[in-house]
Amino acid sequence: MGTPEQLITQPLKHPFIEIMDTTLRDGEQTSGVSFLPHEKLMIARMLLDDLNVDRMEVASAKVSEGEKDAVKMITHYAANEGMLHKVEVLGFVDDHQSIDWIADCGGRVINLLAKGSLKHCRNQLGKLPEEHLDDIMRSIDYADSKDIAVNIYLEDWSSGMSDSPEYIYTMMDKLVRTPIRRFMLPDTLGITNPLQVIDFFRKMRRRYPEVHFDFHAHNDYDLAVSNSLAAVLCGAKGLHVTVNGLGERCGNAPLASVQVILRDQFEARTNIREEKLNDISRLVEEYSGIAVAPNQPIVGDNVFTQVAGVHADGDNKDNLYCNALVPERFGRSREYALGKTSGKANIELNLQKLGLQLTPEQMNKVTKRITELGDRKEIVTQDDLPYIVNDVLKHTTPEEKVKLISYMVTSTYGLKPIASIKVEINGSQYAAESTGDGQYDAFVKALRKIYKVNLGRTFPILANYAVTIPPGGRTDALVQTVITWRNGDKVIRTRGLDADQTEAAIKATLRMLNIFEESQ
């Protein structure tokens, strides 16, 4: 195949790359993922309005009535916004059924799925290449009569280039003379490596230099991002991605990773608004139920968290441990984790953010306590820090403004749980009762009743609730409850640890209320 230098055609300087997001089509093929129609609309709106993708593939034709409803909602919205040309639907060579389905949904672009390898043509369709080509040509003509633009997938293209390149050239020689706008080349089975992609793309570009080629990667060998960038090196004008790398089997190329490498490593241009990458990741995580790994580049919870104290010390002096992936670029902020390796520098930076100042002696005591907690593998957050300081130094900074005096929660089969609570808020005691859908829900509703009736105020809205226990599954294991609250634009994340899940959640809630009251 030659050396990489011989294989790479001369890349354009600062090329513009189209980004086509296929979260709502290929991403939905992730095992266990099925978006409701309104969820698809919300994701589509964020992709178009906030993230500014060039195109998005929103469905496969003829899947279900629910899918049809979703596509109609999306096309109606996109048409009103003047962006209908950005909405694409996967369709099939099926005697025009897909084209009619897309037209009935209000769509104007079909991504026609054709066979890109001889074995798929013969063994799946049972047809000769000439017969398949005739069917494709009829589909293109019919789409044109319906005023529907056509892009074409050459399914299993990477295998075709390995096993039957002459078949692909026979297809291309005829199809390049049609109104097809984009030829989309998928590594359907995720089997290629970057050198193969370079080789295959070089051959396609040399033979068809004026054609717009997209590349569609799968991540079976964890090479989806690398292969996508190899395609760009050799002249691909568009890349297919999904939010959080969702997709069949091991998924597709993740949008955030592809975007930042295009910009930082290749100096390529896209229309993506990077400050919205984290927002779309969170939305898709919520709707899909597929959690983002904490160390997922760009969008993971931990990727902008420094743990080692030497790193915090370097950042404090001259940003010595920072690179181009600064969190503010993505609407996030850098955090400094607290644990056994954090050291004084991490603690000092966290205390600065909280506006707390300690003497050297006090700092030594707090550092020792955090190290002890880290040795026990307990999680220490910035929100925990005031409580650790208060506990270690035995003084009233910060003042505990909200205290739980007493509470009782009941749960009876067939009846709603009831909570009866008494709390002290800023020196005054209040009591309330409430029912709820669960014990914790009843507790929070009783609290909200006190804030509304007695104080004439509200407190932050619960945004996320997660429960974890140590490995082993013991019934007496400690439960860690992590609750995320939203107060306008501000996010508060608090934790509670207890053998009882409700008690752990109540501890997390009281921590949030004390943070909230302090901010007031």
Q: pLDDT over 90 for what percent of the chain?
A: 69
Furthest C-alpha separation in the chain: 85
Start-to-end CA span in the chain (Å):
67
* Catalytic site residue from 155, 335, 348, 503: 155
pLDDT at position 424 over 50? yes
**Is the model more confident about 120 or about 490?**
120
Q: Establish whether the linkage from the previous residue to 470 is cis, with ω within 30° of 0.
A: no
Q: Is 88 a catalytic residue?
A: no
What's the sign of the alpha-carbon dihedral 123, 128, 130, 132? negative
- For residue 268, how many C-alpha atoms fall within 13 Å in the half-sphere facing its CB? 28
**Is the model more confident about 379 or about 4?**
379
Q: What is the mean pLDDT of residues 76-88?
A: 98
Average pLDDT, the chain: 88
The structure tokens 């089975």 sit at 189
**Is the model more confident about 392 or about 480?**
480
Query: Are 97 and 139 contacting, i.e. CB atoms less than 8 angstroms apart?
Result: no
pLDDT digits (tens, 9 = 90+) for 307-333: 544 444 444 445 555 678 888 899 887
Specify burial of residue 24 (Cβ count, 10 A radius: 0-12, 13-18, 19+).
Answer: buried
Q: Is 457 a catalytic residue?
A: no
* Catalytic site residue from 25, 55, 202, 493: 25
> Over the Cα atoms of the chain, what is R_g?
28
Q: Which of 28, 87, 96, 30 is nearest to 63 (CA)?
A: 28
pLDDT digits (tens, 9 = 90+) for 428-443: 999 999 999 999 999 9
pLDDT at position 30 over 70? yes
pLDDT digits (tens, 9 = 90+) for 269-284: 999 999 999 999 999 9
